[in-house]
Structure 1
């Protein structure tokens, strides 16, 4: 589908100025700037390279229109992304910030993407066609590097029933976080013609919501998801949040990525006490394969952390996490997070009891006033180790400076 031709077909009939009022008045645009530095020191023996170290600047411009007046409202969204290399080399590439030549191994000086999305609104339902960034249990775009990943396809979101949000659609292409190309949708080294999904969330109350989704990556895998989120007020300034998630993933058709057989039960419990948050998680894998998720996306699991996903076959993992907001001490904008995640019983080629563990520390500050107001500064520190047959090990630091400029 040619998005420019689609947009032209939608917008050409909309020449009447009164009908365009909402289209213009409800529009907004912004530019997001992200300066990202990653230093990754590989600690295992016989590593292909001793370290990966890159520094780059990202720009993301987003324009979202309102909808035209009338029973059917029409609109257009646009997004342009540009990544620029500040420092890298062929022997330090591979952090995920920059693409590099598969033969030359030289990091690109820059890369970019333009995305256009047509949208149509009827009552409380919106259909979007073109570039998409879904945040759903079965497909979640990645935004952990310089530029965010995107998908191409169609997404229908409906909220016709109070408390119920329904989503359904089809994706056909993926643009990875460090790529300028739109590749066929896929998982691992296998590709497919399309990825179909549907489901929704029903909120019984502001404190309780349940979710169900079904998805199928044609000829690769099919997946069902059930989730429950509940918040229990305990006292003034105290609450307990429970987030339970279950996935059942099986092979589909020709099983182009090999046999898929995975059940993933995971959950997080968070106790909030004033400025403090104490969290504990569990994640249990059963079946003979790893947990599958789309290329260009992230797994919707509680033990998705800074470096690792803890989604190997058979891997059982847990996490202990602590968050603190320094606004309670009179320093608004300063936050701290630390967590430790431990996984055991991983299955891989010739391995039955592999172990993985990661420790993350995150310190962030958003400037509250002055000429640099709203500039965010973040330091992330990571230590990852594996054992019992698994050999990956690294120490990592990330420095991220961000700023969003609203144009209107």
Structure 2
């Protein structure tokens, strides 16, 4: 593990070297640097006292320091640039009995690390309306969601191309090779939940097409070598009813099947398998998941309701390195509305109803204050023990950003979630987050 001081010196030195080597380029005038601070308290209580390996509670407190440098592009037919991301985590409070390495703070021996960090560099090129990025990436795509639910974000290494040459059409493609988990400084290969063997190739391509200004159609394809092929179809529509009033429709469908080693008994026996329930206990990926949700907004009010169905042969899958030897590699996000604080409601056979109410207090004269409450209820969960298990989750979120004065821009957030499940441990979770971003230039 790098110490905080060593990491800051390395990050600052790398950024200065990059800037000095390109100081004569016009891209400097468009460069931006931001110092981000995030103070994070995390408390997860396993109410039935089972938890992970008998652990009944996780409780940790840490501070993140983020240095984010983004350059402009040099002049010419092909503009060149480079971005740098320095991440440091410092443990403020943790200890044996309260620490869990895959949760927020990485392990160092038998206990939590005092500090940890990483440096990410991304080279980029721009020609017309097509941009190529290679290096450290944090994608937010239907087939891959970088997780930022703890102190430091999950990052990936690889290449990404985004093109907007055709009006109303955005084309995306890329190849990823490795990932660093939210609670780790180490690079690992790629896998799915339950898989113990690494894959080093994740290929993807997709298109977002604005059929009309208020209607967007999506298609994406992803291939994780030796694990799965995945097709995604999406449709998003906004119906403007009147001033400060709208009705949004979001439809999503995933079709995911085994590929390479996961498609053979020998490959699955070698570790290329998916965790959770699968037909005949084979560990083979075979899943179709669809969901529909609708949001009615009026002024500061937003009311959402929807339904999701997961087929019964295996769980819904996307990238998840939690089964690999590096325990800090765990922690992932998936592109489902049901991916919440504690549960994802993506188990084989699961049928989920959900509803959410959110309010923006700016409508009541209190800008910067927002609140939301969501409830989800899933049933028909297929497990080895039972064919009809149930679970429910209730989450509350409260956020406020100071709008003026000495502390302008300081953000305060509280997250509280409760999960009652027949398929895993019951949990109560609290997160308290204090954040601030300072523009350096």
Shorter chain as normaliser: what TM range?
over 0.9
Q: Secondary structure at the match of 2:382?
A: strand
What does the per-residue CA deviation read over 1:130-154, in whole Å, with 9 as the maximum and x for residues that have no partner? 1011111111100110000000001
Which of the pair is proportionally richer in strand? Answer: 1
Aligned to 2:179: 174
1:173 and 1:184 in contact (8 A); partners too: yes
In structure 1, runs of 5+ residues without a counterpart are: 1-6
Residues 282-306 of structure 1: CA distance to partner in whole angstroms, max 9, x if unpaired?
1100141111111264110111111
Which residue of structure 2 lines up, in the alignment, with residue 335 of structure 1?
Answer: 370
Is the counterpart of residue 196 in structure 1 residue 203 in structure 2?
Answer: yes
Deviation of residue 105 (structure 1)? 3.4
Does residue 1:69 correspond to 2:75, yes or no? yes
2:314 to 266, 272, 289: 289
Tell me which residue corresponds to 2:432.
Answer: 399
> Per the alignment, in what secondary structure is the counterpart of residue 363 of structure 2?
helix
For the 8 Å contact 2:168–2:211, the answer to whether it is kept is yes
Paired with 1:374 and 1:15, the residues of 2 have a C-alpha distance of 32
Residues 167-216 of structure 1: CA deviation (Å, up to 9, x unaligned): 10100000000000010122133321210000110012220000000000
Other structure's SS at 1:351 match? coil
Cα distance in 2 for partners of 1:230, 1:15 equals 44
Shift of 1:391: 4.1
Gap runs ≥5 in structure 2: 1-13, 263-271, 274-282, 321-330
Q: How many residues matched?
A: 393
Contact 2:49 2:55 survives alignment (8 Å): no
1:249-328 pair list within 5 angstroms: 249-255=256-262, 256-257=272-273, 258-295=283-320, 297-328=332-363
Two-structure CA RMSD over aligned residues (Å): 1.9
Q: Distance in 2 between matches of 1:146 and 1:72?
A: 36
**1:30, CA displacement in angstroms?**
0.3
Cα distance in 2 between the residues matched to 1:152 and 1:260: 25
SS state at 1:162 partner: coil
Note if 1:247 corresponds to 2:254. yes
Higher mean C-alpha deviation, range 83-92 or range 343-352: 343-352
Deviations 1:47-105 (A, max 9, x none): 4122110000011111010000000110000000001000001200127220114xx43
1:3 alignment partner in structure 2: none
Runs (4+) off by over 2 Å: 14-17
Distance in 2 (alpha carbons) for counterparts of 1:142 and 1:46: 26
1:381 aligns with 2:388: no
Q: Name the structure with the higher helix share.
A: 2
Give the TM-score normalised by the residue count of structure 1. 0.93
Cα offset for 1:399? 0.6
Give 1:267 deviation, angstroms.
Answer: 2.1
Match of 2:280 in 1: none
1:222 maps to 229
Q: 1 CA distance for matches of 2:388 and 2:64?
A: 40
TM-score (norm 2): 0.86
Any idea what SS the aligned residue of 1:348 has? Answer: coil
Query: Equivalent residue for 1:115?
Result: 120
Write out aligned runs for 1:46-85 (5 A).
46-47=50-51, 48-85=54-91
Aligned to 2:6: none
* Equivalent in the alignment of 2:3: none
